[in-house]
Amino acid sequence: MMRLYSAGSFIWTGRACYQPAPIWEAMRKDMKLKNLSAIGALALSTAAATPTAADVDTERTIGLVVVSFYTSVYETKYMEECPRGLAIGNDEIWWKSLEPGIRDELTNGGEIEPVTGTRRAMSAKRGPNGEDVCAVPTIVEDPPHKTVEGSISYGMNLDGLLDEATTPKTCSHKNFTTPDGQPGIDNQMYRLLGCTFGWRDSGYVETNANGELIDTSQGIILIEVSEVDDRRNDDEVTVRMYRANDIFPKDAQGNVLPYASYRVHDIPGYGNAAKGRIVDGVLSTDPIEAFLPYYGNLAHSEIHLRDMRMELDLEATEDRAKGIIAGYRDIENFWSYFRKGGYLAVTGQFSCPSMYVAAHELADGYPDPNTGECTALSSSYTIETIPAFIVRPEDDDSKTSEATTEPRATQLAARGE
């Protein structure tokens, strides 16, 4: 059906006949072909047989949209990184705490699965007065959290050190080595989550969150690489990350279509500029403070990373760029995710109180000036992106910070937080 015209009636008694068609008329007003403010996406691979936007687009910008976002977790076949096994689940602790009579009542005498439906929420509310132990993780004391004890991890050397020394911005911690042998890797988030079912391969928490990202189009991250003169080797480019204001268009099989256009969300705080470079098709950036949108497991959240940097192989596959985003993630920012849904402890099989304690023990970044205890965890996220067009408002300069290290307080104030 044509969708050019709105309704107007010849005998409409309340309005003049022949109402102009608003859609078409509106379009006529700015019918003059104008220069697009949109950013052109460049092809990821020069080897692609299919002509790409690069062939018809001379913009110096690479636009990308994140379609996969996972906490970087290195796993071995026989789980050698977790010699003490996986973290104890919230349910297990809860179940063991119940009197036999209550267990009978909840399971209809053992006939039905104990943790379903409303009992999921119930199992997290095991504080002395029924408090949610994920919302108030210090209210009970659980057995110690099981953490990664291996030496290999994905991630980056965030503090620049190869040993366990401290710096004014970091606390002492053990380093990892990447699978391909790079030493000095800081990834305490992996140490915290790597032995927890929900974050491991096919674990429910992250798999479900990624599914929801695609299904709901909430929390879409855009990456814009501008001032690109040479997409294989360029010693100076600018990288910005935004929150998208549009949905994922998908093909008949549910896959996100490349080369779609996304408008930038105008919430202040996103879009800090990072200096970067491309070497042999791999993009890397200098550190900046960044906020990234995040939605998963029915909870809206936001990832706040300090000293965030990126390493992205723009030629990973014919149609995808892959890499990692790393930085220090504030513990309270991280924990806000769990505060919004105690069921994560159920589906992810961990104890909130145990993990909360462990997170503080493992924190290795940004010491509290008063206590000296670190408040952030070195972290790494593995991402995959596809080409996209990033559409910014024409007056977006005022909304996009040029500073690479704008004080957090300023940004939060701008965001009304």
Partner 1 sequence: MIQLTTILRTTLLAAIALTLSACGESEPLTEGSEPQLRRLTEQQYRNTIRDVFGGNIIVAGRFDPLERIDGLLALGASSATITPAALERYESLARSIALQVVDENNRKVLLSCTPTSAGARDDSCAETFISSVGRFLFRRPLTNAEQALYTTISGSGAEALGDFYQGLAYGLTGMMVSPKFLYVNEIAEPDQDGLHRLDGYSKATRLSFLLWNTTPDAVLLDAAEAGDLDTEDGLEEQFNRMMASSRADHGLASFFEDMLEFERFDILEKDPVIYPAFILDVTEDAKEQTLRTLTHLLLEEEVDYRDIFTSRKTFISGSLGPVYRVPVDNPEGWMPYEFPEGSPWAGIHTHLSFQALFSHPGKSSPTLRGQAVREHLLCQKIPEPPGDVDFSDFNNDTNAVNRTARQRLVAHNEEASCAGCHKLMDPIGLAMETFDGAGQLRTMENGVVIDTSGELDGISYSDAVGLGEALHQNPSAPACVTHRLYAYGTGRSPVPAERQWMAYLEEKFAETGYKVSDLLQEMVLSDAFYRVIPPALDTNTADAGSVSAEETQL
> For binding to partner 1 (CB under 8 A), which residues are involved?
1-14, 17-18, 20-21, 24-25, 27-28, 30-34, 36-41, 49-53, 56-58, 246, 249-253, 255, 257-263, 389, 391
Q: How far is the CB of 242 from partner 1 (least distance, A)?
A: 14
Q: 149 near 84, Cβ under 8 Å? A: yes
Cβ nearer to partner 1, comparing 6 with 410: 6
Q: How far is the CB of 385 from partner 1 (least distance, A)?
A: 15
Q: How far is the CB of 17 from partner 1 (least distance, A)?
A: 6
Tokens describing residue 236: 């100076």
Q: How far is the CB of 257 from partner 1 (least distance, A)?
A: 4
Cβ nearer to partner 1, comparing 252 with 409: 252
Helix axes 331-339 and 352-362, enclosed angle (nearest 10): 170
Distance CA 72, CA 189 (A): 9
Cβ nearer to partner 1, comparing 15 with 96: 15
Cβ nearer to partner 1, comparing 14 with 109: 14
Q: How far is the CB of 402 from partner 1 (least distance, A)?
A: 23
Cβ nearer to partner 1, comparing 58 with 202: 58
Tokens describing residue 190: 């992996």
Q: 310 near 64, Cβ under 8 Å? A: no
| CB neighbour list of residue 275: distance below 8 Å, 6 or more residues apart | 236, 237, 238, 239, 285, 286, 404
Output DSSP code: residue 234: E
User: Which residues make beta-bridge pairs with 275?
Assistant: 238
Tokens describing residue 127: 């504080």
Cβ nearer to partner 1, comparing 8 with 184: 8
For residue 164, what are the CA distances in angstroms to 71, 128, 183, 184, 308?
23, 39, 12, 9, 21
Q: Which one, of 282, 274, 343, lies nearest residue 309 by Cα?
A: 274
Q: How far is the CB of 10 from partner 1 (least distance, A)?
A: 5
